[in-house]
Amino acid sequence: MPSKELKNGLPAEVKLETSYLQNGETFRHSFEENGRVVYMNNSYYIRFEETHQEVSVPVTIKINPDGVVNVTRKGDQTMRLTFNSEGTTQTNYQSPAGIIQLKVVTEDLKVSYYDRPFSGRVYVDYTLHANQQKLGDYQIRLRFTT
Read off the pLDDT of residues 82-93 as tens digits, 9 standing for 90 and up.
999 988 999 998
Read off the pLDDT of residues 40-66 as tens digits, 9 standing for 90 and up.
999 999 999 988 778 889 999 999 999
Q: CA 136 to CA 124: how far, in whole Å? A: 14
Predicted local distance difference test score (pLDDT) of residue 143: 97
Whether 129 has a pLDDT exceeding 80, the answer reads yes
Contact 69, 123 (CB under 8 A): no
Q: What is this structure's pTM?
A: 0.91
Domain enclosing residue 45, as ranges: 4-145
Give the mean model confidence (pLDDT) for residues 20-43.
Answer: 93
Q: CA 130 to CA 26: how far, in whole Å? A: 19
Whether 1 has a pLDDT exceeding 60, the answer reads no
Gyration radius (Cα) of the chain, Å: 15
Q: What is the largest CA-CA distance in the chain?
A: 48
In terms of Cβ atoms closer than 10 Å to its own Cβ (0-12, 13-18, 19+), residue 136 is middle
Q: CB atoms < 10 A from the CB of 118, how many? A: 19
Number of domains forming the structure of the chain: 1
- Percent of all residues in the chain with a pLDDT value above 70, rounded to a whole number: 99
CATH code of the domain containing 45: 2.40.128.20
Predicted local distance difference test score (pLDDT) of residue 41: 93
